[in-house]
Structure 1
Amino acid sequence: MEVLQKDRSTPLPQQLYKILLERISSGRYPAGKKLDSIRVLAREFKISDRVVNQALELLEKDSLIIREPARGVFVSRSNTVDNKPLRVILVFPEVGILPEVLPVGNWHANTEIYRGMLEVGIAHNTHIHLEYFPEAEDNFALNGQLQRLAGYDAAIFYGDQRRKLRSVAANEVAVVATVQFGAPAEYREPELAVGYSDRELVECLVDTIKSRGYRKCGCIAVPRTSDDVPFLHWRTLEYCRLGRAAGLPVPDGALQEVPFPVVAAEDEIVAFLRREKPDFLFYNSDHLEPLYNAVSKLNLQPGREIDFMYIGASSVCPICSRVTPPFRQIGREMISRIVDYCRWKRPLPSERIFLPPQIITGNSTGWSHDNRTDEM
């Protein structure tokens, strides 16, 4: 039954817009034919002429109707519901992209995801809007955020952030989507979930180096913040477990974690390299300056006397080999699936989509450029 719900957070013009959109899509208002008059629609839905006009303005913005003075409002012959612009909102969890607010690695990840979204969005008449949403403190604030989602076809969230809004966003948008960072967020069917797995990043690193014939494979973890410590510890253990299972020479002595704060990280790396003398080092951090300084102090040549790689999103040191999450591909896949669902009614995947990592090689390994996988 087509009824406007005046107690909902969705503005009445937006509710009427959706009803009229469905009437055009179903053929009740065929292409080239006249819509019911403003007065008739106002009487049918028990609303003011102003609300009807606002709904018609939304349809006109999508080029789905044509107003002809003294004649009325007609359904467009050239534009259809299937090719109307799609609107996607990216619910950004930070107030600004600044180094003091968002670490460099996260900044790079977010910009790459957004870049991938735009690449597909531009090709498919899909507008992607990035907007900051604070955590809703009460139901009043939550309803206000729901109103901000009204009019969008899809809302994209980052992992488990903004849980309250994410849990009710389906009341306003056709698709609720989540970017699954590293450790997968809680999954709610039928959400669209696209991302990567931290475990697959480590597996990719091990698979890449296991045929290289290294004599000793080491690992040193250097946290940037105290929050990094448990995660880097897990990743060190995972590297050790997967590496040994793959036949890599990873002795216990070749694993070291620099305590936080890392005031003496450079000295610890120097002492570690002198003591263990690994010919391959998994540098479990994206804070590369201490490593390069330590290697320089020891007069070691990266890619010749020692090979090393890190796992990271940003190209903080382009000459260093790394395993990187496929952030731009995540953005592209996310918008492609939203377009498939909203425009062509293709079903959303019933399971999470994890995209494979990428290998970026530089002279810190000295491998042949034939093995290089460039960032797309």
Structure 2
Amino acid sequence: MAPQGYGRRQVLFSGSVRVVDFLMLLCFFLVIFFWVAGQASAQPLFSPTQDPMAGSRIFGAKGCSKCHAIEGIGGKVGPDLGKISGRRSFYDLAAAMWNHLPRMGKQMQQMGLGRLQLSPGETGDLIAFLYTLNYFSRPGDSKAGRQLFLKKQCVACHQVGGTGGVIGPSLDNLAQQGSPIFLASAMWNHGPAMAEAMRAKKMERPNFSGAELENLVAYLKSASPGQGTEKLYLLPGRPDEGRELFIKKRCGDCHSIKGLGGKVGGELAERKVQLGLVEFAAGMWNKAPAMLKEMKGRNIPVPQLQAEEMADIVAYLYAVQYFAQPGDARKGEHLAAAKGCLRCHQMDGKGGQIGPNFKKVAGLDQPATIISAMWNHGSTMEQKMREMSLQWPLLKGAEMADLVFFIQTQGRNQ
């Protein structure tokens, strides 16, 4: 049974979206996002044991917030984790935690904080929480959005608050929905008609960055009538439904997910930058001409997408990147030697005697268990490496995936 009220597909809140609103809304979304992913009839997109809601509590209880902020709330010693761009897959985040462990340990010591320990469950929950931080966009700048509305010539066809052209529909109602996902679906569905209108008026078709679209949404909210008292809605997506829609709408004819699907539009699960709602909306608009041309050449009908369908597809594409890197045991074995792991750990009778033999450690069957062990023993490893005049080995996300998968295979071969 789904959480109560989920069938309505709307999360309700009022007024401007402040940071506190953002975090509360994020927590509500996380429950739905991971619950649905775990309930999917096909293979789950997320591990059902990883709970981002619990991860948010761990972030506070373990003292992470004393050094790190999320959207300005928290410490100033470390970077604001809500404002870091780039990939955030499970292994990217695990690698970042590992790479910064010596620096974090030193800082905690200076602040009189003990080295925190994380159980496998806590590790998985914390990483799941950090993964979802950039799904929702930060509030944009309404003044900058107004300038964009004029500069990009949106005003030539659309009205907001009674000002603007009448060729296209008024954007007041769109603004009152309060979610960029409504804007994304409207821009996609009306894209061909908008392109024709712009050609008729000899207007250049504008492109938008994610930040620009955030500002534009902020302007639409501020300029539309009754924006201060109207209720705003945001749609949380359902990854399992998004997967079905991705197939049904024939997105897979051009785009691939983990190697399955078309090659024209590229691989969507291996993006260098993780796209949230607004970035996805901007990308859909900017690439619409090329996509429409390709669909026409392949005799693929242009799919219409309701806002809730768009939300589901975005949630699916966001979810598939969580464990995007599957890991390669052979590469992991080479890394274990190249990164100096075998100076302390033993494998197949080779290696050091300081640390435990990978094959004799029970329970290393889950990625979070291995990351937890690496984190908890970090201070001991750091001390031993100093004694041996070894540098702390840095790992990329893909390397962490390979190393973890290799260690998993050692446990399975006991």
TM-score by length of 2: 0.23
Which one has a larger percent helix, Structure 1 or Structure 2? 2
Structure of larger gyration radius: 1
The one of the two structures with greater contact order (alpha-carbon pairs below 8 A, sep at least 6) is 2
TM-score by length of 1: 0.25
